[in-house]
């Protein structure tokens, strides 16, 4: 069985990131931009903007390296019409002029975000708003190892720490915009099946998950220090980083977030759906707000 493994364990990688943070450049820009989510993976990072991974950050041959998808390098400042040669079928624009060629501190990151906006769905924008509004969020876009069949496994949207007295618990959240068909099907909702599958996967990998997110708490706290205090994490994350035991309930807590609706939809469609969902999900496991940024985990 494949294991669930997260956290920066590679010798020297966190130190190298700390040194890089002192220099003007892409990593310092990332740390100082609190709208970006740093997702800690298995000895690498994904830097997310509205569900799009702007950078994959790794350590190779003792150096920190970053990569991005070419679709984010299309310069959003391009304007005007591009000619098409009727004889050769050639567009009058070279790749050198169309693509961002050099990273400029304080400038290029904003362009990458603008380019990535083209690919961000309403649901991904909502997840971004929730994650950046809640300092206890520790992860987004959480994928599990594929099963023995090799089939891909859907990703849980958000993981957070919940501080209850002296205890810190790990909670997972599935986020849906109200218009998502998985909420609105007749009979058993697809989202209910999804959550049930997640609970099973979390139980299967429970020990690895707790170990991974304990490590991630330390990594996220270190990133805050690298940012000079610009980035912040909740006290629950700091406590786990300093040694407080992290726990995962059995069965695991997987809750539902719903957003993206107005007052009329809240009083009509959502009220009807809520009655159906409350009959299929545990009590207290649904949070809904019209504006995703208003959701508090």
pLDDT at 98: 83
Question: Considering the domain boundaries, does residue 171 fall inside one?
Answer: yes
Backbone φ, ψ for residue 255 (5° rounding): -115, 170
Report the distance separating Cα 127 and Cα 43, nearest Å: 24
Question: Considering the domain boundaries, does residue 232 fall inside one?
Answer: yes
Question: Considering the domain boundaries, does residue 7 fall inside one?
Answer: no
Residues 6+ apart with CB under 8 A from 154: 194, 197, 198
Question: Considering the domain boundaries, does residue 2 fall inside one?
Answer: no
What residues does 168 pair with on adjacent strands?
163, 246
Question: Considering the domain boundaries, does residue 86 fall inside one?
Answer: no
Question: Considering the domain boundaries, does residue 85 fall inside one?
Answer: no
Question: Considering the domain boundaries, does residue 102 fall inside one?
Answer: yes
Pairing outcome for strands 137-142 and 37-40:
unpaired
pLDDT at 1: 54
Tens digit of pLDDT per residue, the chain (297 long)?
578 999 999 999 999 999 999 999 999 999 999 999 999 999 999 999 999 999 999 999 999 999 999 999 999 888 889 899 898 998 888 777 788 999 999 999 999 999 999 999 999 999 999 999 999 999 999 998 866 455 556 789 999 999 998 999 999 999 999 989 888 766 677 899 999 999 999 999 999 999 999 999 999 999 999 999 999 999 999 999 999 999 999 999 999 999 999 999 999 999 999 999 998 999 999 999 999 999 999
- The answer to whether the CB of 209 falls within 8 A of the CB of 202 is yes
Residues 6+ apart with CB under 8 A from 31: 21, 223, 226, 227, 230, 231
Q: Using the Cα atoms of residue 6, residue 236, residue 22 and residue 101 in order, give the sign of their dihedral.
A: positive
Closest CA to 214 of 236, 229, 195: 236
| Number of domains into which the chain is organized | 1
Scored b (16 or more CB within 10 A) or e, 120-152 reads: beebbbbbbbbbeebbbbbbbbbebeeeeeeee
pTM for the predicted model, two decimal places:
0.92
Q: What is the DSSP letter of 58?
A: E
pLDDT at 116: 96
pLDDT at 153: 67
Report the distance separating Cα 97 and Cα 80, nearest Å: 13
Containing structural domain, residue 218: 13-79+92-294
């Amino acid at each position: 069985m494949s294991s669930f493994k997260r956290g920066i364990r590679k010798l020297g990688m966190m130190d190298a990131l700390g040194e890089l943070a002192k220099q003007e450049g892409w990593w310092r820009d990332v740390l100082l931009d609190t709208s970006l989510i740093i997702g800690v993976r298995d000895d690498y990072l994904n830097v997310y903007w509205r569900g799009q991974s702007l950078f994959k950050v790794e350590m190779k041959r003792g150096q920190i390296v970053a990569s991005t998808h070419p679709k984010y390098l299309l310069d959003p400042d391009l304007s005007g019409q591009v000619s098409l040669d009727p004889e050769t079928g050639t567009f009058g624009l070279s790749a050198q002029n169309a693509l961002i060629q050099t990273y400029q501190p304080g400038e290029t990151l904003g362009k990458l975000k603008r380019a990535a906006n083209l690919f961000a769905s309403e649901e991904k924008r909502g997840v971004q708003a929730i994650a950046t509004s809640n300092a206890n969020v520790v992860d987004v876009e959480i994928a599990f190892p594929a099963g023995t069949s090799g089939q891909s496994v859907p990703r849980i949207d958000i993981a957070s720490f919940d501080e209850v007295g002296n205890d810190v618990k790990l909670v997972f959240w599935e986020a849906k915009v109200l218009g998502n068909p998985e909420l609105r099907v007749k009979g058993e909702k697809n989202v209910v099946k999804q959550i049930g599958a997640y609970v099973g996967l979390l139980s299967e990998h429970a020990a690895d998950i707790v170990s991974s997110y304990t490590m991630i708490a330390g990594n996220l706290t270190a990133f805050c220090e690298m940012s000079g205090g610009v980035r912040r994490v909740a006290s629950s994350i700091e406590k786990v980083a300093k040694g407080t035991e992290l726990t995962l309930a059995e069965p695991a807590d997987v809750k539902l977030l719903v957003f993206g609706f107005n007052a009329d939809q809240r009083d009509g469609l959502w009220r009807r759906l809520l009655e159906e969902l409350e009959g299929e999900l545990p009590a207290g496991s649904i949070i809904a707000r019209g504006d995703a940024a208003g959701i508090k985990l």
